[in-house]
């Protein structure tokens, strides 16, 4: 920041929007001269991270594997990447001086809007003062609830996409991308099969074959909906205590088999976990911020992040996601 910007920030006396813009859109500046003490912020940050991790499965799998693209700030409203076409087949001839077909790889731009996912809550000044006088921690249950809602929306965005146009574009997820591979796991007569110890391995191999047909070769993560844990941890007969989850993860191309709580019932996805297939564009990691109103008598907080999944379909309209449907009871 320049000296002029620093002086401007110091003269704003809590005007959050101006302070934020004057700091080159750095959310950290909104924590200067705040109502919360340093230890309160440490506790709040810890709670936000812990609660978000409890709700995030597919998002955490991407970030844990480094499948993220840093946008460099919340000011970036769109993320772009290049899709690559293929060349025509090589020429075959008996002589090396035979004229070959000249070709170029074709590149096209794809993009996704980067929304801000956020939830607000408020603490009363009297509530904060009462906690201070009693020497107790400030009740942060509202922060916990707000964080859960933001985390759920983040998870939904990767699994379900966002159902409306935003910022002039669409955000697609594992179960609604137009170029995902789809598969109905049925008995050949249109009757969906149940996901059981007896059927599971065959189902997963059919999904892997579907991905292989589109030239996606893993490694894959398999995501199942809530309610399938009892099947995954069921012991397979005659295997000396081996559970179904262990058995499926022994398939070479399967990295992990997980329950994703936001996956719709009767749906599962097989996702190639490589950067050329999927990642998350991040403008702002999950963070709580504070601002005052009504003369400082009320303190507002917002839990927010700026991010979007990038599902990188090829120019031939193929994507390394297989979305399968099966029979699942209520």
DSSP code of 327?
Answer: B
Q: What is the pLDDT of residue 73?
A: 85
Instruction: Say if 9 falls within a structural domain.
Output: no
Instruction: Say if 188 falls within a structural domain.
Output: yes
Residue 176: partners with Cβ closer than 8 Å, 6 or more residues away: 160, 161, 163
Q: What is the pLDDT of residue 9?
A: 40
Q: What is the pLDDT of residue 142?
A: 79
Instruction: Say if 22 falls within a structural domain.
Output: yes
Does residue 161 sit in the same domain as residue 189?
A: no
* Three-class secondary structure of residue 301 per DSSP: strand
Instruction: Say if 100 falls within a structural domain.
Output: no
Between CA 174 and CA 170 the distance in angstroms is 13
Does residue 32 sit in the same domain as residue 44?
A: yes
Does residue 214 sit in the same domain as residue 70?
A: no
Q: What is the pLDDT of residue 27?
A: 59
Does residue 321 sit in the same domain as residue 240?
A: yes
Between CA 256 and CA 222 the distance in angstroms is 6
Alpha helices in the chain (DSSP H): 3-10, 16-22, 38-55, 58-64, 125-134, 141-160, 200-213, 229-232, 244-249
**Residue 9 CB: number of other CB atoms within 10 A?**
18
Does residue 200 sit in the same domain as residue 128?
A: no
**Residue 85 CB: number of other CB atoms within 10 A?**
13
- Residues in a beta bridge with 287: 304
CA distances from 272 to 53, 81, 260 (A): 22, 18, 16
User: What Rg do the C-alpha atoms of the chain give, in angstroms?
Assistant: 25
CA torsion 155-161-163-169 (nearest 10°) is 130
Q: What is the pLDDT of residue 10?
A: 40
Does residue 262 sit in the same domain as residue 126?
A: no
Does residue 62 sit in the same domain as residue 206?
A: no
Q: What is the pLDDT of residue 72?
A: 87
pLDDT (tens digit, 0 to 9) for every residue of the chain, 330 residues total? Answer: 443 443 344 444 445 555 455 544 555 545 555 656 566 667 777 778 788 878 889 999 999 999 999 998 888 899 998 886 666 677 787 777 777 666 555 667 889 999 999 998 877 666 666 656 655 555 667 788 888 999 999 999 999 999 888 878 999 999 999 999 999 999 888 899 999 999 999 999 999 999 999 999 999 999 999 999 999 999 998 888 899 999 999 999 999 999 999 999 999 999 999 999 999 999 988 888 877 776 666 778 888 899 999 999 998 999 999 999 999 875
CATH assignment of the domain containing 140: 3.30.2400.30
Q: What is the pLDDT of residue 111?
A: 92
Given a contact cutoff of 8 angstroms between Cβ atoms, the answer to whether 168 and 74 are in contact is: no
Does residue 166 sit in the same domain as residue 290?
A: yes
Tell me how far apart the 2 most distant CA atoms of the chain are, in Å: 91
Instruction: Say if 92 falls within a structural domain.
Output: no
Given a contact cutoff of 8 angstroms between Cβ atoms, the answer to whether 286 and 242 are in contact is: no
Instruction: Say if 196 falls within a structural domain.
Output: yes
The DSSP H or E segment spanning 96 is none
Does residue 155 sit in the same domain as residue 257?
A: no
Does residue 137 sit in the same domain as residue 232?
A: no
CATH assignment of the domain containing 214: 3.30.2320.10
Does residue 208 sit in the same domain as residue 240?
A: yes
* CA proximity to 291, closest of 77, 163, 120: 120
Instruction: Say if 99 falls within a structural domain.
Output: no
Does residue 151 sit in the same domain as residue 189?
A: no
Instruction: Say if 229 falls within a structural domain.
Output: yes
Range of the domain at 238: 181-275+315-325
Given a contact cutoff of 8 angstroms between Cβ atoms, the answer to whether 59 and 158 are in contact is: yes
Domains identified in the chain, total number: 2
Q: What is the pLDDT of residue 96?
A: 74
The CA-CA-CA angle for residues 196, 202, 204, to 5°, reads 90
């Amino acid at each position: 920041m320049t000296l002029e910007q620093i002086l401007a920030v110091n003269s704003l006396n809590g005007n959050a929007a101006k302070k934020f813009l004057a700091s080159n859109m750095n959310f950290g500046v909104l924590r200067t001269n705040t109502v919360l003490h340093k230890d309160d912020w440490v506790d709040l940050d810890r709670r936000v991270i812990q609660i978000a991790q409890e709700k995030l499965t597919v998002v955490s799998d991407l970030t844990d594997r480094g499948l993220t693209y840093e946008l460099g700030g919340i000011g970036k409203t769109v993320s772009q990447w290049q899709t690559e076409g293929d060349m025509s087949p090589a020429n075959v001839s008996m002589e090396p001086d035979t004229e070959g077909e000249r070709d170029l790889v074709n590149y096209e731009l794809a993009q996704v809007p980067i929304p801000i996912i956020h939830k607000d809550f408020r603490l009363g000044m009297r509530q904060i003062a009462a906690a201070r006088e009693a020497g107790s921690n400030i009740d942060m249950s509202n922060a916990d609830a707000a964080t859960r809602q933001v985390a759920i929306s983040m998870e939904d965005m990767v699994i379900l996409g966002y159902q409306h146009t935003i910022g002039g574009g669409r955000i697609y997820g594992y179960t609604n991308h137009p170029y995902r591979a789809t598969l109905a796991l049925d008995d050949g007569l249109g009757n969906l099969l149940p996901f059981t110890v007896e059927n599971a391995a065959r189902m997963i191999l059919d999904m892997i074959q579907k991905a292989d047909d589109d030239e996606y070769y893993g490694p894959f993560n398999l995501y199942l909906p809530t309610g399938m844990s009892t099947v995954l941890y069921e012991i397979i007969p005659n295997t000396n205590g081996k559970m179904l989850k262990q058995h499926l993860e022994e398939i070479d191309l399967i990295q992990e088999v997980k329950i994703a709580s936001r996956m719709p019932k009767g749906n599962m996805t097989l996702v190639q976990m490589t950067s050329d297939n999927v990642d998350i564009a991040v403008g702002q990691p999950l963070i709580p911020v504070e601002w005052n109103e009504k003369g400082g008598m009320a303190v507002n907080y917002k839990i927010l992040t700026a991010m979007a999944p990038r599902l990188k379909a090829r120019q031939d309209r193929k994507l390394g996601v297989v979305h399968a449907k099966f029979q699942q009871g209520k």
